Amino acid sequence: MIDFQITEEQLALRERVKTFVVDKIIPFEKDPRLTSHGPTDELRIELNALAKEAGLFAPHVPAHWGGMGLDHMSCAIVFEAAGYSPLGPIAMHCAAPDEGNMNLLEKVATQAQKDRWLKPFAAGEIRSNFCMTEPGGAGADPSNMLTKARYDGDDFIVNGVKWLITGAKGSAFTIIFCDVEAEAGKPGGPTMLISDMDQPGISISRELDTMDNSFTGGHGEVTFKDLRIPAENVLGEVGEGFRYVQVRLAPARLTHCMRWLGAARRSHDIALDYARNRQAFGKPIGEHEGIGFMLADNEIDLQQSQLMIWWTAAALDGGSKGRHESSMTKTAVSEAVFRIADRCVQILGGLGVTQDTVVEWIFREARAFRIYDGPSEVHRWAIAKRILRNG
């Protein structure tokens, strides 16, 4: 039986993070360095310094790389508290895509690759991106890969276009998911390659204007034209890319849920306070059934989401690969978070569509959450396939 009892240490850590986010990070939500394409690196570095000073930097990173070394269950508690502000995960260096990339490098990279990229990365000295999604190609279906790599001696030559690449602008290196063409005894297939972003053959074709803006560097389109990558920069093995994608995506889906549950809780707190104080038709609006029922539904969604996150985190801590658990949790929580944010906008009325509160921002972010890391429909399709096969 899974025990969801929170330890005294975890409770204390949650309170530390919550206090840090409320006192130190929320005041930056109106900072002009928070742009339509996300926080600038200048703002990120300043927020990182605050987290380091508070001893709350990189909670998911193993201690030997300078992080807090928390397990999945503790991360669930801490990431939720960090997500109380969209800037909290940025400050604590546990936001996407960097958090997922750190996990991938720790599990798959060679020691030389870790020394070159993971060490400065874990310290917050550099940022990364993950190049998988393509216009008209790989995305929810990673097998539909259009970006190709061919052998050239001991090197690979990469050509293709990736888009919706979070954090592309200003990142130091990229992990490229591509299809290697087999050649005369050399293996081929889906493969991950690492490259510094300043190499000839990589360009950011454009910055994409999107509805969300909580990620440093925003989202970009990245073009590879005869990009040369040496063999020592293969992440793992040639042809094993699909296996490594699951190493990255299964935990990353869950950590998205952790962070956005915190944001949903922030929206609910704001709406609840408003419902207690806003008067209409002779009493606080929360006492009217229409508003009260929305608040009740929020409470239900928050509780169910937290239990699903804890269930999946406990499964990962217990040795599960977490692929199916995280798929179900990502679907359920992303839909619940959006419902909560939508109800909060409705409860706030006209105030909810303004930027006078953070609810409007969280609503936009929550809508995007239902798409990235796999749309809900694709996860449902995969879940259906599994239950039809296994019963």
Which range (116-125, 140-149, 210-219) has the least confidence? Answer: 140-149
C-alpha to C-alpha distance for 369 and 373, rounded to whole angstroms:
8
Cis ω for the linkage preceding 62 (within 30 of 0):
no
**CA separation for the pair 159, 152 (Å, rounded):** 13
Once rounded to an integer, what is the mean pLDDT over residues 346-354? 98
Tokens of 271: 């709406």
**Residue 82 clears pLDDT 70, i.e. is over it:** yes
Q: What is the per-residue pLDDT for 324? A: 86
Average pLDDT of the residues of the chain: 96
Q: What is the per-residue burial (b if ≥16 Cβ within 10 Å, else e) of 230-266?
A: eeebbbbebebbeebbebbbbbbbbbbbbbbbbbbbb
Alpha carbons 233 and 236: distance in angstroms, whole number? 9
The single residue listed with the structure tokens 């293709």 is: 160
Nearest to 362 by CA among 291, 248, 249, 259: 259
What are the φ and ψ backbone dihedral angles of 113, each rounded to 5 degrees? -65, -40
Q: Is 110 left (phi over 0), alpha (psi -120 to 50) or beta?
A: beta
The per-residue pLDDT for 337 is 98
Question: In the 3-class helix/strand/coil scheme, how is the chain assigned residue by residue?
Answer: CCCCCCCHHHHHHHHHHHHHHHHHHHHHHHCCCEECCEECHHHHHHHHHHHHHCCCCCCCCCHHHCCCCCCHHHHHHHHHHHCCCCCHHHHCCCCCCHHHHHHHHHHHCCHHHHHHHHHHHHCCCCCEEEECCCCCCCCCCCCCCCCEEEEECCEEEEEEEEEEEECCCCCCEEEEEEEECCECCECCEEEEEEEECCCCCEEEEEEECCCCCCCCCCEEEEEEEEEEEEHHHEECCCCCHHHHHHHHHHHHHHHHHHHHHHHHHHHHHHHHHHHHHCEECCEEHHHCHHHHHHHHHHHHHHHHHHHHHHHHHHHHHCCCCCHHHHHHHHHHHHHHHHHHHHHHHHHHHHHHHCCCCCHHHHHHHHHHHCCCCCCHHHHHHHHHHHHHHHC
CATH number of 8-95: 1.10.540.10
Arithmetic mean of pLDDT, 111-127: 98
Torsion sign (Cα): 85, 139, 225, 153 = positive
Tens of pLDDT, residue by residue over 13-34, are 999 999 999 999 999 999 999 9
| Predicted confidence (pLDDT) at residue 391 exceeds the cutoff of 70 | no
pLDDT at res. 250:
87
User: Can you identify the CATH homologous superfamily of domain 128-239?
Assistant: Butyryl-CoA Dehydrogenase, subunit A, domain 2 (2.40.110.10)
pLDDT tens for 303-346 read: 999 999 999 999 898 888 778 899 999 999 999 999 999 999 99
21-25, 45-49, 95-99, 311-315, range with the lowest pLDDT = 311-315
pLDDT in tens, 248-281: 988 999 999 999 999 999 999 999 999 999 999 9
* Tokens encoding 261: 């549950």
The structure's pTM equals 0.95
Q: Of 231, 246, 219, give the one whose Cα is nearest residue 143.
A: 246
Using CA atoms of 211, 213, 214, 216 in order, give the dihedral in degrees to the nearest 10. 140
Write the pLDDT tens digit of every residue in 165-183: 999 999 999 999 999 999 9
Phi–psi pair at 358, nearest 5 degrees: -80, -5
Task: Give me the residue spans of the domains in the chain.
Answer: 8-95, 128-239, 242-390
Cβ atoms < 10 Å from Cβ of 200: 9
CA 62, CA 58: separation in Å to the nearest integer?
A: 9
Q: Give the residue with greater pLDDT, 18 vs 140.
A: 18
The answer, yes or no, to whether residue 3 has pLDDT greater than 70, is no
What's the whole-number mean pLDDT along residues 183-196?
Answer: 96
Residue type present at position 381:
W
Euclidean distance between CA atoms 130 and 142, whole angstroms: 13
The superfamily CATH assigns to domain 242-390 is Butyryl-CoA Dehydrogenase, subunit A, domain 3 (1.20.140.10)
Residue 124 contacts residue 57 (beta carbons within 8 Å):
yes
Cα–Cα dist 251/255, whole Å: 6
Q: What's the rounded Cα separation, in Å, for the pair 104 and 193?
A: 12
Assess contact for 61 and 122: CB atoms under 8 A: yes
